[in-house]
Amino acid sequence: MKILFKGGRVVSPQDNINEIKDIALVDKKIVLNPSNIKYDRTIDCKGCVITCGLIDVHVHFRDPGFEYKEDIYSVAEAAARGGITTIVGMPNVKPAVDNKTVVRYILDKGKETAVNVLTSGSATKGNGGETLAEIGEMMLEGICAVSDDGFPIQDASLMRRVLEYTKNFNLPFMAHSEDKSLTKDAQMNEGYNATLLGLRPWPRQAEELMIARNIMLASLTGCHVHFQHVTTKMGVDLIKLGKKYGIPITAETCPQYFTLTDDACLDYNTNAKCCPPLRTKDDIRAIIKGLKNGIIDIIATDHAPHALEEKELEFQGASFGMVGLETALGLCLEQVYKNKFSLEDIVEKFIVNPAKLIGSKQGAFSTQELGDLIVFDPKVEWTVDVNKFASKSKNSPFDGMTLHGKLKLTVVKGEICFEDA
């Protein structure tokens, strides 16, 4: 199969390309300077942008253990429909990703899907936060990172050992920063809205304290600590400080944290309940600024599917999290449309830097083995409709939102796996 992508703007900083040019897919491989051969198909990409596929380092597969919310097949399809060609699973499934058998299960099942499925491994056995998991064994089996997502390690001494042990196997540690003693029963960001709604408040300091601690432990151990879902202004400032000290840290945020404030929880909208919680306008400004100036390295989704019956509840009974795979690109491009980000920012935060974090070759066309690319039109207006999601779960606070910038086509491993009708 030979496909020519004609007339699109190709943006790939790692390949030093940012221009309108043709590229081709020939026998599943990307050809950056296509020759004048006969193509099976020519796709008109005029007005569109072509990049490597998005790499999402923060996804909850819910498989094994919670397949009613999502499974590896459905999460992969949702990713393809969102322009995300590589997904990294979090270890808080059941059984936990704390041994090589579960790692093998996920990776093998992932190979049956259209996208690149990777997984992180849990830092502790059963996500229990007490004893170390077999990180070395999991490394050999193919995990790309270690994480405590969903079950943040509270004990500083154990965290120190975890980081030392993770560094031992040259893996990055993806940290969910939350001091649980400050978030007991907490439901939403501490502030006016929480007081108004009478919901238990979640102070930003619970996140910031742990970011500070984890920066210091990264400094102590030399382990690369990647801060997941950063949501607050001071969180960004702390990471800036840590980087200034030369401590090996990176950070991510998610589209919801630069799009929504805790106003989204008014009306007790459980789809806006997530962990960490949505914050304030000031935080959004700081997050966007942090992304612009490189303090925050990565955009990830924290795609957290939940069944209807886990969300159609009183607020305090509802589960934390929202699906994100099928809205992330649109929400990022909306910021481009509003001139808050440039296209190059998106490519760097959602392709180049995530690839570096997990040691993937898919962040540049020239290093890809089989071709991963996406084509999107940054101007096209569309409306989010959860009923069209491929994900098994529909818990999105963005349902009904109009966005600018729409995916046209996804190629993974050299094959078209999604094309907008």
Partner 1 sequence: MGLISKNLIDLKSTPKSDINLIIDTAFTQKEILSRSVKKVPILKGKSVCTMFIENSTRTKNSFETACKILGADVIGFSKTGSSINKGESYKDTLLTLEAMGVDLFIIRHFASGSSDFAAKTVKSKIVNAGDGMHAHPTQALLDMMTLIEHRGSIEGMTVLILGDVYHSRVARSNIWGLNKLGAKVRICAPMTLLPAEINSFPCEVYTDLREAVKGVDAINILRIQLERMNAGYFSSIYEYNRFYGIDTDIFKSVPKDTLILHPGPINRGVEISSAIADGPNSVIVNQVTNGLAIRMAILYLMLQGENR
The catalytic site residues sit at 302
CB of 284 to partner 1, least distance (A): 18
Rounded Cα distance between 286 and 296, Å, is 10
Contact 159, 133 (CB under 8 A): no
Burial tier of 403 (Cβ tally within 10 Å: 0-12, 13-18, 19+):
buried
C-beta closer to partner 1: residue 97 or 186: 186
Cα(177)–Cα(286) distance, integer angstroms: 18
CB 186 within 8 A of CB 246: no
Residue with smaller CB distance to partner 1, 1 or 196: 196
Q: What is the rounded CA–CA span in Å between residue 110 and residue 93?
A: 15
Question: What is the distance of C-alpha 364 from the center of its chain?
Answer: 18
From the CB of 203, what's the least distance to partner 1, in Å?
Answer: 8
Cα separation, 396 vs 280, in Å, equals 19
Binding positions for partner 1, rule: CB under 8 A: 190-192, 194-201, 267-268, 309, 312-318
Residue placing its CB nearer to partner 1 in the complex, 132 or 197? 197
Q: Which is nearer to partner 1, 165 or 202 (CB)?
A: 202
Output the CA–CA distances (angstroms, integers) from residue 170 to 142, 144, 359, in the order listed: 12, 10, 11
Least distance (Å) between residue 264 CB and partner 1: 14
Nearer to partner 1, 112 or 312 (CB): 312
- Are 327 and 82 contacting, i.e. CB atoms less than 8 angstroms apart? yes
Shortest Å, Cβ 267 to partner 1: 7
The DSSP secondary-structure symbol of 387 reads G
Asked whether 77 and 390 are in contact (CB, 8 A), the reply is yes
Here the tokens at position 321 are: 């999290």
Q: Which CB atom, from 107 or from 307, has the smaller least distance to partner 1?
A: 307
Peptide bond into 95 cis (omega under 30): yes
Work out how close the CB of 404 gets to partner 1 at its nearest, in angstroms, rounded to a whole number: 31
The minimum distance between CB 325 and partner 1, in angstroms, equals 26
Helix (H, G, I), strand (E, B), or coil: what is residue 63?
coil
Q: Tokens 């089989």 belong to which residue? A: 370
